Structure formats: C-alpha cells, structure tokens
C-alpha cells in the first residue's frame, strides 16, 4: 500500500474541507444566522428581497398532475377549511401538523383542532423536510414589516420580547449571491425555528399565494409567476402572529408529505 506524501495529504485535506463546506451550504435552508461578532447585513428594498419567490415564466409546459394550480385571486379570505380534518398526531398538549399535500397547517390542543390555515412550503428543488421536530427558538421584530423598505408605525402585538426597542429580525440567504436561490437580507415579523439548519415557521409577507399549488411554479392573476419557499413553512402575517402567540417553546411540529 502506497502512503500519500505530505503534499498529497494536504491537497486531499483541502478537497475534503471544500466538500464539507459545499455540503453544509446545500443542506442549509431558508435562513443563515450571522456569526457572533459579525456585522448584520442591512436589509434591502431591492426586488431580490421583495420578489424572492417570483420566477421567470416557464419555457416548458408544467406537469398538470404535479399539483393544483390556483384558480382564484391570491388574496382570497377566509380560506375554506378542508372537508376532513386529520387526527391530531398527539392526544395531549399543543402540537402542530403541516400537510405538504394540502399546503395546510393544523394546530391542535389536547387532541382537538384549535385552528388551521393555508401555508406555502419548499419549492420542488428545496423541499421542506418531513418528520417530527420541535419549536426551540422564537424571534420577532418590534415593528410590523409589510415591505423591505421601512417598517410600519405599528408594533407587532405578539412580540412581547421587543416593545419599542426597534429590534429587527432579518433572514440572510445561506446561498451566495449569484446562486439561483440567493435572496437579499429580508425582514421577518414572526419566526419559529424548528430545525437547527435554518428551517422556520414564519410570515412571508412578500408571497402572494398560499394553499394548494403554492409550493410549485404557478401563475398569479397579475401575470407573474411564483414558486414555493426555500424550505421553510411560510404563512400570512396575521396567521404567523396568531401561531407565534399560541405556540410555546418545545411544541412538537409534525411535517408530513401526505395526510
């Protein structure tokens, strides 16, 4: 057996390090935290932030069996409740169930449905992970953000951690600029982290359509095309506010492909 020389071993070490970094980058989804002591990138009003889920008009026909395509305006409300409510994954306490096939979130308490609303999950190339997780961190912005330019004068009512201090929760892209998945630093109102490598339940104020079809390429009434998230579970601001106030740290989050 030939033992590699020092130069060869050093080269192999560099290659291995690169592979590890690349793997980490590819597996990280939705948001990356800024390292301790590093400068927080400034949020921006560029279209990269505001239109981060919009995509060019597809040049090839889409598979019509892949998902349901929206047929109504994306601002319709209230959302009709599905005909059959899935049973609670746990019989006691608070628990969240996210159905990827329905693009629906269900919140249960002691086995009974507390509330439900539509969501948008990861696009086909950046799918939301399935399994059982737990909410282990909650972050919120002091002021209400409905664009990436400036906050409104309204305080986020359920953000009790920050009242008048001006704190801004900002998501940063784990992908480098130039990547098709890169997005500019973006303000978030309510974020509930359920997996360490950057997966959250959070408001997606920039997204137009929630519910069936929102996680795959779909055409909006204004002619623009939109797709799913970067892997997180996105929702309307009002729904995120309600969920944030309801969910305590440690709440189980079940994400299932079909239910």
CATH number for 249: 2.40.440.10
> Mean pLDDT across the stretch 227-234?
96
Residue 56 domain-assigned?
no
Position 32 confidence tier, pLDDT thresholds 50, 70, 90: low
Residue 36 confidence (pLDDT) above 70: no
Percent of the chain, pLDDT > 70?
69
Query: 69-85 pLDDT, tens per residue?
Result: 343 344 444 445 456 89
Residue 119 domain-assigned?
yes
Question: Domains in the chain: how many in total?
Answer: 1
Q: Which of 107, 104, 97 is nearest to 130 (CA)?
A: 97
Per the model's pLDDT, the better-predicted residue between 259 and 11 turns out to be 259
Per the model's pLDDT, the better-predicted residue between 94 and 220 turns out to be 94
Residue 217 domain-assigned?
yes
What is the structure's pLDDT at 44?
A: 64
- Give Rg (Cα) of the chain: 20
* Contacts by residues 103-109 (CB-CB < 8 Å, ≥ 24 positions apart): 103/210, 103/211, 103/212, 103/213, 103/214, 103/215, 104/211, 105/201, 105/233, 105/235, 105/239, 105/243, 107/243, 107/246, 107/247
Residue 37 domain-assigned?
no
Residue 111 confidence (pLDDT) above 60: yes
Query: 182-221 pLDDT, tens per residue?
Result: 999 999 999 999 999 999 999 999 998 999 999 999 888 8
Residue 15 domain-assigned?
no
Pair of tokens at residue 109: 């308490």
- Average model confidence (pLDDT) across the chain: 82
Residue 178 domain-assigned?
yes
Residue 115 confidence (pLDDT) above 60: yes
What is the structure's pLDDT at 51?
A: 65
What is the structure's pLDDT at 178?
A: 92
Q: Tell if the pTM clears 0.85, that is, is over it.
A: no
What is the structure's pLDDT at 69?
A: 39
Query: 39-73 pLDDT, tens per residue?
Result: 556 666 655 666 676 667 666 555 433 343 343 34
Residue 163 domain-assigned?
yes
What is the structure's pLDDT at 94?
A: 98
> Mean pLDDT across the stretch 104-120?
98
C-alpha 2, offset from chain centre? 49
> Mean pLDDT across the stretch 108-131?
97
What is the structure's pLDDT at 31?
A: 75
Residue 60 domain-assigned?
no
Domain membership of residue 182 as a residue range: 91-259
What is the structure's pLDDT at 6?
A: 52
């Amino acid at each position: 057996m030939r033992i590699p020389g020092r130069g060869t071993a050093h080269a192999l070490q560099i290659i291995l390090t690169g592979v590890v970094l690349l793997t980490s980058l590819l597996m990280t989804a939705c948001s990356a935290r800024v390292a301790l002591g590093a400068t927080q990138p400034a949020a921006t009003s560029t279209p990269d932030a505001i239109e981060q889920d919009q995509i060019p008009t597809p040049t090839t026909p889409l598979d019509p069996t892949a998902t349901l395509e929206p047929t109504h305006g994306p601002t319709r409300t209230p959302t009709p409740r599905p005909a059959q409510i899935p049973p609670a994954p746990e019989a006691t306490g608070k628990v969240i169930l996210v159905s990827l096939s329905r693009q629906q979130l269900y919140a249960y308490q002691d086995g009974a449905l507390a509330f439900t609303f539509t969501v948008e999950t990861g696009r086909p190339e950046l799918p939301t992970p399935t399994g059982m997780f737990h909410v282990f961190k909650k972050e919120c912005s002091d002021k209400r953000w409905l664009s990436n330019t400036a906050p409104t004068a309204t305080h986020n009512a359920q953000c009790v951690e920050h009242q008048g201090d001006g704190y801004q929760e900002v998501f940063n892209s784990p992908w480098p600029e130039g990547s098709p998945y890169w997005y500019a630093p973006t303000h978030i109102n309510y974020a509930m982290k359920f997996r360490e490598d950057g997966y959250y339940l959070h408001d997606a104020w920039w997204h137009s359509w929630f519910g069936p079809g929102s996680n795959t390429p779909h055409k909006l009434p204004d002619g623009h095309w939109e797709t799913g998230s970067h892997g997180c579970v996105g929702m309307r601001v009002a729904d995120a506010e309600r969920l944030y106030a309801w969910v305590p740290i440690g709440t189980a989050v079940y994400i299932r492909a079909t239910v």
